[in-house]
Amino acid sequence: MSDSFRSTPPQQQWSGPNSGGNGYQNAGSNPEHDGADGDPGEVGKALVVGLLGGLLSVAGYMVYRRLPDEQKEKLHSQVRTVVQQRVNELRQNFNI
């Protein structure tokens, strides 16, 4: 097979017949870091997203608390309807 049809970069060795993979298993791997914890930059991003989600949920709850009772009941009925639809959809998909 010529290099123009290689699925792996030219600088990387071909996978052997017993490697059971595509040749990328050990590419750039660090024996002390198996990738289970994630990159420190990714952890920071996840923390920021979690913090923003928490702030948004607190803001939503503060708005919800100030709603009149009739609007709260209307919201409750809408949520119940949506949840019932999703449950019925799941039951139908899984033949329960």
Q: What is the DSSP string of 17-64?
A: TTS-S-S-TTTT-BTTB-SSS--HHHHHHHHHHHHHHHHHHHHHHHHH
Among the listed ranges 9-18, 39-48, 68-77, which one has the minimum average pLDDT value?
9-18
Give the whole-angstrom CA distance, residue 49 versus residue 56: 10
**pLDDT over 80 at 42, yes or no:** yes
Q: Give residue 73's pLDDT.
A: 96
Whole-model pTM above 0.85?
A: no
Q: Indicate the pLDDT class of residue 34, thresholds 50, 70 and 90.
A: low
Please state the rounded mean pLDDT for residues 63-90.
96
Give the whole-angstrom CA distance, residue 39 versus residue 43: 6
Q: Give residue 22's pLDDT.
A: 54
Note the residue count of the chain: 96
